[in-house]
Amino acid sequence: MTNYSHGHDAEKVAARYLEVYGYTIITLNWRHTRAEIDIIAQKRPLLRAKGPLVFFEVKYRKTDAQGSGLDYITPKKLAQMRFAAELWVAENRYEGDYTLGAMEVTGETYEITNFLENIN
């Protein structure tokens, strides 16, 4: 199995996890010529108003031998994530609230080992 296919499998597991924990998946693997977003999800609120969108970066590591997946969310990566979110917002004329999030998926069984919202 390639790193690419492991990454996509990890993103699918992450999306299912988000659904269980109260999110609606808007898009998986959004691509633009200048950016990409792994998962765009919207938190389902308790009230009628829509919750904010969260633009998630999913980091998969087979082992933690080279550090955790979230160690790779550097200031440069965070800037790329902001840029991608802004492109999606502009392209879709979205006017609501949004934030950035990250998920770490580890091992052969794709265990969610870390989950962060609001990493802006």
Check if CATH label 3.40.1350.10 holds for domain 3-117: yes
Q: What is the pLDDT of residues 13-46, one digit of tens each?
A: 999 999 999 999 999 999 999 899 999 999 877 6
Domain boundaries defined on the chain: 3-117
Entry pTM: 0.88
111-117/98-106 β-pairing:
antiparallel
